[in-house]
DNA sequence: GCGTTAGTGGCTGGTTGAAA
DNA sequence: TTTCAACCAGCCACTAACGC
């Protein structure tokens, strides 16, 4: 069997148990047989078998490879994924990626109907190296080119964490030059070098807490979060209700005229850019500093015509 | 074509939990 | 406490894929 075959089987097991916990071996077998019938119609190299012994080995391998534990409940007479795993974002992403991978593979003859976004690689080839450096607290060196500058600068930083925002990966670091927290997009980072020099992770620094009131990736440093009140027209409001701008989003008014929401965030450049993208479908009601920023930006844009 | 490797299925004994 | 059913894991043989 090809490697794709048994990896597909692992993911089918996870997918089934996520959708329906406490499946017996027979239920899993039936599900996998059905799925494999369909996959094999498109790819006859996918010769996937599934005996009880194979399931036992798969459970062990899934734990080794993906770190996801599958247990058996005697009272429910079935296998299940431990609850904490199904809530794990990595797990959700893995299942999504698998679905996407299989769909695109199966749909090669449907190419005219699938339009993939053409974008630059995300720089994920450095993920392993960066994770190694974060885990072992090694300083890193790299070359970096900002969007708004042609010049490439060389950086030496202490890597703290990786963060994703709008389909881009960033490394959160402390810059040795000025000791401030900075983020760098992986797709603009080159010549990565992991040094032998170790650093001490500041005990008081908590990345989750630090970015709690940030819209995107720009570090707030010492800035305090503010109450932000926005009013959207009803059409845009529907999108905002289904795709909230931030975890702190609360609905204040929801009627035929507007959707009014409150956010608790630091006013950073990435938040301003996001709000500007709504154009005249959104109005900032609070705070004054943000109203001024948005007004100035719209006025500048108006004067260009 | 041949040898090696890895995945799989089946058999078997040990373990565990529920029921009598 | 004993019995039974089901799972788990070790072992071995088979087979397909892969490299030379």
pLDDT of A123-177, one tens digit each?
777 777 888 888 888 899 988 877 666 777 888 999 988 888 887 888 889 887 7
The whole-number Å distance from A182's CA to C14's C1' is 58
pLDDT value at residue A262: 95
Task: Name the residues contacting strand C (CB < 7 Å).
Answer: A 1-2, 24-25, 45, 47, 52-53, 55-56, 59-60, 71-72, 77, 79
Pick from A218, A103, A221: which is nearest to A166 by CA? A218
Please name every residue paired with A141 in a beta bridge, in sequence order, or none if there are none: A156, A193
CB atoms within 10 A of CB A33: 12
- The domains of chain A are located at 3-112, 124-208, 226-303
The whole-number Å distance from A27's CA to C3's C1' is 28
Q: What is the CATH number of domain A124-208?
A: 2.30.30.520
pLDDT value at residue A45: 47
SS (H, E, C) chain A: CCHHHHHHHHHHHHHHHHHCCCECHHHHHHHHHHHHHHHHHHCCCCCCCCCHHHHHHHHHHHHHHHCCCEEEECCCCEEEECHHHHCCHHHHHHHHHHHHHHHHHHHHHHHHHCCCCCCCCCCHHHHHHHHHHHHHCEEEEEEEECCCCCCEEEEEEEEEEEEEECCEEEEEEEECCCCCEEEEEHHHEEEEEEEEEECCCCCCCCHHHHCCCCCCCCCCCCCCCEEEEEEECHHHHHHHHHCCCCCCCEEEEECCCCEEEEEEECCCHHHHHHHHCCHHHEEEEECHHHHHHHHHHHHHHHHCC
Cβ A74 to strand B below 7 Å: yes
Statement: residue A39 has pLDDT above 60: no
The whole-number Å distance from A251's CA to C13's C1' is 66
Cβ A1 to strand B below 7 Å: yes
Rounded to whole angstroms, the Cα distance separating A71 from A31 reads 18
Chain A window 22-51, residues with Cβ within 7 A of nucleic strand B: 48-51
Chain B nucleotides reached by a protein CB under 7 Å: 7-11, 17-18
CB atoms within 10 A of CB A155: 16
Chain C nucleotides reached by a protein CB under 7 Å: 6-11, 16-18
Cβ A72 to strand B below 7 Å: no
The residue that leads in pLDDT, A7 or A215, is: A215
Pick from A42, A33, A41: which is nearest to A9 by CA? A33
What is the assigned CATH class of domain A226-303? Answer: alpha beta
pLDDT value at residue A33: 74
Residue at token pair 């570090």: A219
Whether the predicted model's global pTM rises above the 0.85 cut: no
Q: What is the CATH number of domain A3-112?
A: 1.10.10
**Identical fold, A3-112 and A124-208:** no
Average pLDDT on A14-39 reads 77
By C1' distance from the Cα of A3, the closest nucleotide is: B7
The residue that leads in pLDDT, A127 or A1, is: A127
By C1' distance from the Cα of A56, the closest nucleotide is: C8
pLDDT value at residue A49: 59
pLDDT value at residue A293: 92
Q: Which single residue has its CA nearest the C1' atom of nucleotide B9?
A: A51
The whole-number Å distance from A103's CA to C14's C1' is 33
**pLDDT confidence bin for A46, thresholds 50/70/90:** very low
The whole-number Å distance from A13's CA to C19's C1' is 32
Please give the mean pLDDT across all residues of chain A: 80
């Amino acid at each position: 069997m090809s490697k794709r075959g048994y990896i597909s089987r692992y993911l089918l097991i996870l997918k089934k148990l996520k959708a329906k916990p406490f499946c017996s071996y027979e239920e899993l077998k039936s599900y996998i047989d059905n799925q494999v019938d369909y996959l094999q119609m498109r790819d006859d190299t996918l010769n996937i078998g599934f005996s009880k012994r194979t399931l036992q080995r798969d459970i062990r391998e899934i734990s080794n490879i993906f770190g996801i534990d599958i247990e058996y409940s005697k009272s429910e007479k079935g296998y299940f994924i431990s609850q904490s795993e199904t809530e794990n974002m990595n797990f959700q992403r893995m299942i999504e990626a698998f679905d996407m991978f299989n769909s695109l593979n199966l749909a090669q003859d449907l190419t005219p109907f699938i339009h993939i976004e053409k974008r630059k690689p995300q720089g994920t080839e450095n993920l392993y190296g960066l994770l190694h450096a974060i885990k072992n607290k090694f300083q890193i060196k790299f070359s970096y080119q900002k969007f708004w500058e042609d010049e490439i600068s060389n950086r030496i930083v202490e890597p703290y964490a990786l963060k994703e925002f709008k389909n881009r990966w960033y490394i959160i670091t402390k810059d040795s030059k000025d000791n401030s927290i900075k983020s760098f997009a992986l797709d603009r980072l080159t010549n990565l070098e992991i040094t032998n020099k170790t650093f001490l992770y500041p005990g008081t620094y908590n990345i989750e807490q630090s970015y709690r009131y940030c819209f995107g990736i720009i570090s707030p440093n010492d800035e305090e979060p503010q109450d932000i009140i926005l009013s959207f027209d009803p059409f845009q409001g529907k999108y905002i209700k289904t795709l909230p701008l931030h975890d702190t989003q609360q609905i204040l008014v929801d009627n035929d005229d507007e959707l009014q929401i409150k956010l608790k965030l630091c006013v950073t450049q990435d938040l301003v850019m996001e709000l500007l993208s709504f154009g005249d479908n959104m109005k900032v009601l609070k705070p004054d500093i943000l109203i001024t920023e948005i007004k100035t930006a719209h006025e500048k844009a108006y004067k260009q015509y």
